[in-house]
Amino acid sequence: MTTQIETKIMVYIKVDVPKIGDYIMYEEVTRNYLTSGKLYKVVEFFEGDAVIKDDDGDEFFTWNDDNYTAYQLLKSTAQPDGSSIEVDGLRYDKVEGALEVGDYVISNVPHRDLTVGKKYKVLSVDSDGDANIKDDVNISNHLRLREIKAVYRCNFSEREKSFVKFGREVDEFKIGDFVQIIRKPNNVNGYNVVGSIHEVDAVRTSCVHLKHVTPRHNGGGTYTLRSDIKLVAPVERLS
């Protein structure tokens, strides 16, 4: 039995008994609304048994299926040797080469309102390949390549970041989440508008159901593929 699980950003360690906020995992499943090997967060206990949200977003009481392994979130996997850093719950790995927007750079400059050893986000890259940043007094500044001690980059896409920054697995939606449509939906029903934000009121295996989709649609909502939306505000932050 696995005693530790490591993802790109988190480490989960096996525990004997879960608490609210811990996770459980089934090695084998017999129900189509559970996935083997997936971590499910314990949301409450009922008469001593853990309750989770299954793949359909419904409460699942584990009293008849308690053959699970419990895990506790231990720490971020950012490495103390400097090969990675953590920013807002995301792991950024040390890279070489040209800068990209969204990278974090470590300053080697002790002046110009900059601090040696401090990380700064790359807001843009100029024609010389140098970083434009916000300095210690929140004023636009720049760091030349020779003034940068190290460069760190997140390997997640913008869509993936929308989940992991809230501690969610990628594509983990819950009823009550608010999501944003990021591309023209594959279901081509004409109701969804790119950029619009909606509430999730049902979760299925490959899609979620959105409420009040657009002013053009006066019905109850529409199903949208998971790949067409990103997480904007998890229900936990709204309660």
Tens digit of pLDDT per residue, the chain (239 long)?
556 665 555 677 888 889 888 889 888 888 888 887 788 889 888 888 899 988 877 889 998 777 898 988 766 556 667 888 877 667 788 999 999 988 999 999 999 999 999 999 999 999 999 999 999 998 999 999 999 999 999 877 788 878 877 777 788 899 999 999 888 765 555 456 788 888 998 888 778 888 865 555 545 567 888 888 999 988 877 76
Are both 34 and 91 inside the same structural domain?
A: no
Are both 71 and 104 inside the same structural domain?
A: no
Position 37 in a domain:
yes
pLDDT at 141: 95
Q: CB neighbours (10 Å) of residue 127?
A: 5
pTM of the model: 0.48
Q: What is the pLDDT of residues 90-119, one digit of tens each?
A: 778 899 999 998 899 999 999 999 999 999
Query: Rounded distance, CA 235 to CA 239, Å?
Result: 6
On the CB side of 127, CA atoms within 13 Å amount to 0
Give the end of a domain, one of 104, 126, 153. Answer: 153
DSSP 169: P
Opening angle at CA 84, ends 82 and 86, nearest 5: 115
pLDDT at 8: 54
Position 163 in a domain:
no
Position 54 in a domain:
yes
Position 15 in a domain:
yes
Are both 19 and 66 inside the same structural domain?
A: yes
Give the end of a domain, one of 34, 57, 76. Answer: 76
User: What is the domain extent for residue 195?
Assistant: 168-238
Give the end of a domain, one of 18, 51, 76. Answer: 76
Position 161 in a domain:
no
Task: Enumerate the β-bridge partners of residue 143.
Answer: 131
